[in-house]
Amino acid sequence: MMTRIMVVDDDPLIRQLLMYQLGGAGYEVCVAQNGQDALQRLLLEHPDLVLLDVVMPDMSGWHVCRAIRAWSTVPIIMLTAKSAESDIISGLESGADDYISKPFSLPQLLARVEAVLRRTTPNRRPARPMPGAESAPGCSTRDPPPQPDQRPRPRRRTDSMAP
């Protein structure tokens, strides 16, 4: 099952850019164009993470975040042009898990999305394997980690002594 991310932004170009970039990174993307739309779609779409703009016409992202937090623990990352320290604090106090200011770096956005999902989703695997992970011993994204009984146990001093 693909990880689903909801993008909430009133700017159609931002929604389209994020749909393309997140989709290319292996995520399923659903969109909402304002706060009311987001609250309704959240009940239907059940996203694994929400990317939420602050400045929207019907209600601020801070209000949307507080409304979501009243009944859900879905991870929320604020993605907004408001970059003052007081805005960042307001976003985090509203219940956001992270805060990214526009303009933003796409690689950094993807890394933060993955980091928040890793912290909030048990046994999470990345949407797309990290480069080189398949070739590193013990770092396969397909194989489960070795079980404790399969790991070599350290030799004790008595193990090497002959009777």
pLDDT at 133: 40
CATH fold of 4-120: Rossmann fold (3.40.50)
43-47, 115-119, 139-143, range with the lowest pLDDT: 139-143
Over residues 76-86, the pLDDT tens digits come to 999 999 989 99
Please determine, for residue 44, whether its predicted confidence score (pLDDT) is greater than 50: yes
SS3 15: helix
Q: Has residue 57 got a pLDDT over 50?
A: yes
Query: Contact 43/143 with Cβ under 8 angstroms?
Result: no
Q: What is the mean pLDDT of residues 52-76?
A: 94
DSSP-assigned beta bridge partners for residue 94: none
Is the entire prediction scored with pTM above 0.85?
no
* DSSP bridge partners of 49: 5
Q: Which amino acid, residue 49? A: L
Domain ranges for the chain: 4-120
Band (73; pLDDT cuts 50, 70, 90): very high
Spatial contact of 68 and 74, defined as CB atoms under 8 Å apart: yes
Residue 150 CA to residue 162 CA, distance in Å, equals 25
Provide the CA 28 distance to its chain's centre, in angstroms: 12
